[in-house]
Amino acid sequence: MKWSEQTWQTIEEKYNSILKMPFIKELSDGTLLLEKFKFYMAQDSLYLEHFGRTLSLIAAKIQDLQDVLAYMRFAENAIVVENALHESYFKDFGVTDKGILQPACHHYIHFLRSTAALESVEVAVAAVLPCFWIYREVGDYIYKNQNAINNPYQKWIETYGGDEFSIAVDQAIAICDKVAENTTEETRKRMTEAFITSTRMEYHFWEAAYQLKTWM
Ligand SMILES: Cc1ncc(CN)c(N)n1
């Protein structure tokens, strides 16, 4: 069994908990309070900048030149393409100030940045994988279960439930499987731990937005 298949099994329960979150349910039926979505989008826009920086650091470290190019593209997509979705919502909502990093986002970003800086590149690619994979699965799930009539969050749903995003996700999974195959059992274990940690943080990111959780 591939590393990715084995690892997904370890987070299956956590993934199912994500699907049951009120944030996901209400985003999907369009009833999520705008205040919560705005909080989420502002934090996510800050997140994407640092996620893009993390992907660039991985691009600088990864061995295979095709993989260097893939992570450079992922970084550009996070900062330019994904963030364009956020900017368009900010325009609609009249948001000019995204504010500061709040606890869940701060924690997640710093986990990704420190993993990319201090761990091996194999562990770093595993740490960023839930940012692709969980979003694709949640995006697809919402796409299939959405209320598409007058849903204010339609653009979000189409971005993460769309084919373009899915192609990048498949690439990121394939790179993880390749590096996992060529490394030690100990590193594969660390990759799985990093993947689990990021999965947890995806959960807490949505939870924090639903609760509008800020610093004291
Ligand atoms: C927190 C988070 N994780 C993942 C994604 C999808 N790149 C995102 N936009 N935000």
Q: Which of 65, 212, 66, 203 is nearest to 135 (CA)?
A: 203
In the structure encoding, which two tokens stand for residue 111, read together?
């986990």
- Distance (Å, rounded) from C-alpha 145 to C-alpha 141? 6
pLDDT at 109: 98
Q: Is position 26 annotated as part of the catalytic site? A: no
pLDDT band at residue 129 using 50, 70 and 90 as cut-offs: very high
**Averaged pLDDT, 131-156:** 92
Q: Which of ligand 1's atoms lies nearest the C-alpha of 201? A: 1
The mean pLDDT value of the chain amounts to 96
Sign for the pseudo-dihedral over CA of 194, 197, 171, 74:
negative
Give the domain ranges of the chain: 3-211
pLDDT of residue 146: 86
pLDDT given at position 57 = 98
Is residue 162 very low, low, confident or very high in pLDDT (cuts 50, 70, 90)?
A: confident
User: Which has the minimum average pLDDT: 74-83, 104-113, 144-153, 176-185?
Assistant: 144-153
Tell me how far the alpha carbon of residue 195 lies from the centroid of ligand 1, in angstroms: 14
Contact residues of ligand 1, CB 6 A cut-off:
44, 47-48, 82, 131, 135, 202, 205
**Predicted pLDDT of residue 93:** 86
Polymer length in residues for the chain:
216
Q: pLDDT tens for residues 56-85?
A: 999 999 999 999 999 999 999 999 988 898
Is a pLDDT exceeding 80 seen at residue 148? no
> Is the per-residue pLDDT at 216 higher than 90?
yes
Residue 202 annotated to the active site: yes
> What's the gap in Å between 187 CA and the centre of ligand 1?
25
Q: Whose CA is nearest to atom 3 of ligand 1?
A: 131
What CATH class does 3-211 carry? Answer: mainly alpha
Would you say 207 and 23 are in contact if contact means Cβ atoms under 8 Å apart?
Answer: yes
What residues have CB less than 8 Å from 170, skipping those under 6 apart?
none
Mean pLDDT of 171-185: 98
**Does 102 have pLDDT greater than 90?**
yes
- Give CA–CA dist 104/16, Å, rounded: 20
